[in-house]
Amino acid sequence: MKIVELDGYAANPGDLSWDGFRELGELTVYDRTEPEDVLERAKGAQVILTNKVVITEELMEQLPDLQYIGVLATGYNVVDIPAARRHGIIVTNIPAYSTMSVAQMVMAHLLNITNQVALHSEAVKQGEWQRNKDFSFSLTPLIELDGRTLGIVGLGNTGTATARIAQSLGMRILAYSSKSAEALQQMGIDKAESYEQLFREADVLSLHCPLTEETKHLVNAERLQLMKPTAILINTGRGPLVDEVALAAALNEGRIMAAGVDVLQEEPPRKGSPLIGARNCYITPHIAWATQAARARLLDIALENIKAFLRGKPQNVV
């Protein structure tokens, strides 16, 4: 069996092993693959692994040996799923591998904004503490999270994990979720009856929903107008959940206090982004998922997905 990994560097830049995959067949791993090179590299493969390389129906039609596409991510919009079904190609994804890593990044952004650890550490390095007349100084207001409201959109794995961590900090959780009010109550969570309620009441708003036609630009100019001027937005979900122009304007005009984002609408932001350089906007380069522990789980699950497919009982099929 021929296995081709089209963009393996992000999942495994060299600190993990592909040996388990090699035991299943002839494996070729490419760090990155440009669109014009996909067909040539995938020729003859029964199994393709991809993270962000797009697999279209046009490609499938030119790959008669292809039986299986393993997406090395939870989101699978890089594959034309209806086309794969028409061609009898199994497509799998990797659910829930990075739950705690993403929740940890939510809190990293939130604590960075509320405590400004890096800012104060750098100020000390620059000698500002030595020059200060008092034993303590701060460059920004420091914010305690106890008693504040964390609004969450989507209570799947990462949303629920984020809620648990926030509860340990004394935060009230208000969630917009398909779960019933009774089910949320058992989790110590209040149910928001509308997006408008969530945006109005949240001191911190964290996005954990999938990207769909309904949720694209979920955070838009109209809803940002509802938020408190002291509010913080965190997005570790998908970049297009946020209207970046509207968010940049809200930040620059002081209509909300700050934002922490790990995802952008275009990645990498080749054409720039209005959020780069926006006031109090802290951006990390889509790394919430990328702890070594999470990436190791990703590869383990990807390997088990292929083994299940070979046994005739595919799992995590999308």
200, 217, 255, 286: the catalytic one is 286
- To the nearest 10 degrees (0 to 180), the angle between helices 117-125 and 99-115 is 60
Q: Give the pair of three-digit tokens for residue 294.
A: 């999470």
Q: Is 267 a catalytic residue?
A: yes
238, 244, 295, 297: the catalytic one is 238
* DSSP annotation string for the chain: -EEEESS-TTT-SSSS--HHHHTTSEEEE-S---GGGHHHHHTT-SEEEESS--B-HHHHHT-TT--EEEESSS--TTB-HHHHHHTT-EEE--TTSSHHHHHHHHHHHHHHHHH-HHHHHHHHHTTTTTT-SSS---SS-----TTPEEEEE--SHHHHHHHHHHHHTT-EEEEE-SS-HHHHHHTTEEEPSSHHHHHHH-SEEEE-PPP-TTTTT-B-HHHHTTS-TT-EEEE-S-GGGB-HHHHHHHHHTTSS-EEEES--SSSS-TT--TTTT-TTEEE--S-TT-SHHHHHHHHHHHHHHHHHHHTT---SB-
48, 6 in Cβ contact below 8 A? yes
The identity of residue 292, as a single letter, is: Q
* DSSP annotation string for 79-127: B-HHHHHHTT-EEE--TTSSHHHHHHHHHHHHHHHHH-HHHHHHHHHTT
26, 122, 222, 267: the catalytic one is 267
Q: Which residues are catalytic?
A: 238, 267, 286
